[in-house]
Amino acid sequence: MDERRSASTWWFARATAAVAVSLVAPLAAQDRPIEEVYERFTAMVPMRDGVRLYTECYVPREIDEPLGIVFLRTPYGVAAGGDRFTRYFASTFRELAKDRYAFAVQDARGRHGSEGIFVWNRPLRDRRDPDAIDESSDAWDSIDWLTANVPGCNGRVGMLGVSYPGWLVTMALVDPHPALRCASPQASPSDYFVNDDFFHNGAFRLSPSAELPYLFDFDPKANARFPYDQVDCYEFFLDLGPLSNLDARYLHGASPTWSAFLEHSTYDEFWRTGNTLQHLTKVTVPTLNVFGWWDAENLGGAHDIYTTLEPYDVHGLNRIVVGPWAHGQWADAGAVALGDYEFGSDTSAYYQREIEAPWFAHHLMGRPDPGLPEALMFQTGTDDWKRYDAWPPTGLTTAVELFLRADGSLSFEPLPDGAAGGSVSWLSDPNRPVPYTKRPIMGFWSGLRGSREPRFGRAGKLWKVEDQRFVADRPDVMVFQTPPLDRDVEVTGRIVVDLFASTTGTDADWIVKLIDVYPERYEPKPELGGFQLMIADDVVRAKFRAGLADPRPVEPGAIEDYAIDLRTRNHLFRRGHRIMLQVQSTWFPLIDRNPQTFVDIPRATAADYRRAEHTVHCSPQHPSRIRLDVVR
């Protein structure tokens, strides 16, 4: 109640005549400094268990109609210090502020200015206990407070956020407050052991996404940074040796989150209770799912949130927008390129002005419906925005297979029955792993900066569009490619790679990268001749082939079918380009080194890391291939 009175007092002092509606014409926020357009008040918003969450509220100085509230929750800190406004006005709120909403930004429980204890990926509460809390209940209680205390509001709230803040939006959808009229989870994780920052199909994402500086952000109340003593993360982690050395040499128990990850190295109850997808069983709030094709952190999680919600969307409320972006790039200004890949337009301006802003205005302020399709997809290769009635689209595509051949080719035709086929083999050495980007590999927070580079530079963002020729000639990277295409191949939908593979070890990693190879003579930009642009990629860990909760040793020499689901893409392989698949068994330090012996990797010793011969089989009986949805 103290916070309620302080907010009311603030409003009364600001508007002594209690004027709730101003007759002045709307003033776009960009016409003058944001501090002249908005006023701020802060509050410690009470939750049902008595914990109070630090919240900054921003209300226009001039109001010409009741306001919708745009609400963002984050563990990364909302306060800019002193009288400065939150940094989100320079990014996420940039275009929305022109519509003169009230804005609220809040530190998540236990972070920065908020009370309580922060629990990373906090599981859903026990609904039988009225005092139990989770991120869904914190969102509910906060919205309840905001609609009662933000002056001039119309009782409608919209939420948005990118990455972990996007997950906080997703959790609000589990048990949505009646005032939550729209929600946009953007690049939200959904299952950290399967497809997001920290693990992919059981393979630990060591760096950059899960690297120490990022984990350190979650352990103290405020942000922290791991004090690397080497510039090159490749060298640092290789010199470290087994993962068990990290705590003894550097952490000394200072990172409970790191310790928890290593303690739970299979899909056990720790991970199952944190799986958000199992709780997404209804769609009652208009939902705009957003992510980028080259998102290095949460492409899989965000994709799976949309597909999980879709069967429950009986009223057509669930939408998806995917652009050519790195993680969060759509919230930046001037997203015209990612590394050497040019988008052909300012895609973030288009998204913010033509998609996000009209969508929020419709649901929060009653503006006209922008008429968004079910799926709005940027098609890489053509650099066009495409509209679809479903995602993946139905009735538009046909299933096409590309078969790996032992001579390094990719063919649209399978080998005939009785053909000899063959295989390709390589020596995989965990002590000389394939780097995932050019060295030196700087830390996630130590990115290269420049006009063409998003935050955190090559190691954090740009490696997704890096020319893959830097590893294509290594003896432990297998390359399969088509001849120059005689027609366009429009991939619109799912991509799955089936590898029939064997190893002389008792465990292995299988990594695949689907690549668009530019012609050697590339007239639009000659310096990109022969460029190898990665379109999709992922890894599976062999010991989890029977299930992520059931690790089993691989029988040496046994041929297994490993299906690597690359989810969906929308890309045109142009006539004259080649389709390439690269296959490898290390990808360092993006993922941790597999010892290639069956062992609990967090407890592995240096002796467990052994060389092994890996083989991909290419015969009629074992047809390694790529399965694609291709427009007819």
Question: Six-digit token pair at 521?
Answer: 């003579």
The C-alpha torsion from 456 through 458 and 463 to 465, rounded to 10°, is: 100
Ramachandran area for residue 455 (φ above 0: left; ψ -120 to 50: alpha; else beta) = beta
Domain-embedded: residue 63: yes
Domain-embedded: residue 312: no
In a shared domain, residues 10 and 156: yes
For 84, the domain range is 1-16+33-168
pLDDT at residue 4, as a whole number = 41
Residue 1 has pLDDT above 50, yes or no: no
Q: In the predicted model, what is the mean pLDDT of the chain?
A: 91
Please state the rounded mean pLDDT for residues 373-396.
Answer: 98
511-528 confidence digits (pLDDT tens):
999 999 999 999 999 999
> Do 378 and 348 touch, CB atoms closer than 8 A?
no
In a shared domain, residues 163 and 206: no
Contacts of residue 281, defined as CB under 8 A and 6 or more positions apart, other chains included, come to: 312
DSSP state of 256: H
pTM (2 d.p.): 0.93
CA distance 582 to 512: 6
451-463 confidence digits (pLDDT tens):
344 444 566 789 9
In a shared domain, residues 484 and 620: yes
Helices (H) and strands (E) in the chain, counts: 14, 25
pLDDT at residue 207, as a whole number = 78
Question: Six-digit token pair at 86?
Answer: 């939150």
> Where does residue 131 rank: exposed (0-12), middle (13-18), buried (19+ CB within 10 A)?
exposed
Count of domains for the chain: 3
In a shared domain, residues 93 and 161: yes
Residue 571 has pLDDT above 70, yes or no: yes
CA distance 34 to 98: 10
* pLDDT level of residue 68 (50, 70, 90 thresholds): very high
Domain-embedded: residue 307: no
* pLDDT level of residue 220 (50, 70, 90 thresholds): confident
In a shared domain, residues 153 and 231: no
In a shared domain, residues 3 and 93: yes
Q: In CATH, what number is assigned to the domain containing residue 38?
A: 3.40.50.1820
In a shared domain, residues 6 and 128: yes
